Structure 1
């Protein structure tokens, strides 16, 4: 699912406001600057992200332009377009992967934190950036559903800093990408950590975070497509 189309004049208004902010073009990728000039779907995504499930307001176009500037600068600073894990990535990183569709036909990003290696956090962060940038449907500005498979994940396996980074990526550095996040079988011991992390979320984003237990996940993902890490029949899962 992509952001709803916006009128050409609204898209151009946002572009003009961004151009006024982006005086030093060396801070951004040329390819990003070229894309924003012509891709109304991309501009729509930035505007939808500002509205965050709320009624539109006059300042939304200002905030959308500011976010484009911030995201584009961040992308260049973090060499997003230069990352390439397409050839033989570190096996440990592949606890995050796209597989299957949810009940609405949206691509699903599965994450198995049980196998997360804290010593490779920076590499995990870069790999996550690359996955999102190269996700199915990225060119069409599609959204994704995220599943955090937390069965057997306790306090010793929980990495708060990475979880914060994970949330921040979808809150501040991607535009309207996360359709919803399914948190599957979170242990009650992690409630305190979740309270710390949830303060990063806007009210609209909080509505997209859904806690599910056991087969409740079938309400969001067809049963046949639920992976073994969440108790489903699809045997695919991360192998260390």
Structure 2
């Protein structure tokens, strides 16, 4: 999926506003600076993120430029382009993974919090950054559908701080990447946890969060591609070490 294209002059205006803010090139990756100069799709994503599903606002171009500057700074500080989990990552980290596509062709990120290790939160955070950075459709600035498989997750398994970080990534440090977030079979005991973290979501993002039970996920992902962790026929399973 791609954000609606914007006129070249609008993209260039946002670029110019960003350039006026980005006076210290050492704060950013050179590759990020080069990409924003030519990638209209990426500029469109940043603008769509600021508009959050609403019509244009008078200052949305200024806010978009500020977001680009903030995201690019964050990426350099957190060494996003330097991360590499392509070879032999810690097995427990791979309980987050891309597999298949939704009904609209968006890549699906499956997350199985049941297997998270709170002692490795920092590594999970880095791995999430790396996954998003290297997602199948990243070059096209595509969106993703996220599935949180919570069927076997209770209060003792929930890492609230990681969930906050997870949401922050998609709210503040990526450009309109989250198409929708499917929360599957969440136990009612976790309602309080969700209320705590949902305040971090914008109103537009809240509308993209879906609480689904059992086979309701088939309305968003082709039935044959629904994984066994949420009751689907795809036999792929994350195997705990």
TM class by shorter chain equals: over 0.9
Alpha-carbon distance between aligned partners in 2 of 1:157 and 1:32, rounded to the nearest angstrom? 37
Equivalent residue, structure 2, for 1:150: 150
Alignment of 1:1-240 (within 5 A): 1-240=1-240
Alpha-carbon distance between aligned partners in 1 of 2:237 and 2:55, rounded to the nearest angstrom? 40
Q: CA deviation at 1:189?
A: 0.1
The 3-state SS of whatever aligns with 1:89 is coil
Give 5+ residue unaligned stretches, structure 1. none
Q: CA deviation at 1:26?
A: 0.3
Q: Deviations over 1:172-208 (max 9, x none)?
A: 0000000000000000000000000110000000000
How high is the TM-score relative to the length of structure 1? 0.99
Deviating beyond 4 angstroms after TM superposition, the runs of 4 or more aligned structure 1 residues are none
Alpha-carbon distance between aligned partners in 2 of 1:237 and 1:124, rounded to the nearest angstrom? 19
Q: Deviations over 1:50-72 (max 9, x none)?
A: 00011111211011000000000
Q: CA deviation at 1:162?
A: 0.3
The 3-state SS of whatever aligns with 1:156 is helix
The 3-state SS of whatever aligns with 2:179 is strand
Alpha-carbon distance between aligned partners in 2 of 1:83 and 1:194, rounded to the nearest angstrom? 30
Alpha-carbon distance between aligned partners in 1 of 2:52 and 2:133, rounded to the nearest angstrom? 21
Alpha-carbon distance between aligned partners in 1 of 2:222 and 2:36, rounded to the nearest angstrom? 35
Q: CA deviation at 1:234?
A: 0.7
Alpha-carbon distance between aligned partners in 1 of 2:116 and 2:182, rounded to the nearest angstrom? 18
Give 5+ residue unaligned stretches, structure 2. none
The 3-state SS of whatever aligns with 1:97 is strand
Alpha-carbon distance between aligned partners in 1 of 2:3 and 2:163, rounded to the nearest angstrom? 26
The 3-state SS of whatever aligns with 1:147 is strand
Alpha-carbon distance between aligned partners in 2 of 1:158 and 1:89, rounded to the nearest angstrom? 22
Q: CA deviation at 1:105?
A: 1.1
Alpha-carbon distance between aligned partners in 1 of 2:80 and 2:124, rounded to the nearest angstrom? 13
Q: Deviations over 1:188-239 (max 9, x none)?
A: 0000000001100000000000000001111111111110100011111211
RMSD: 0.5
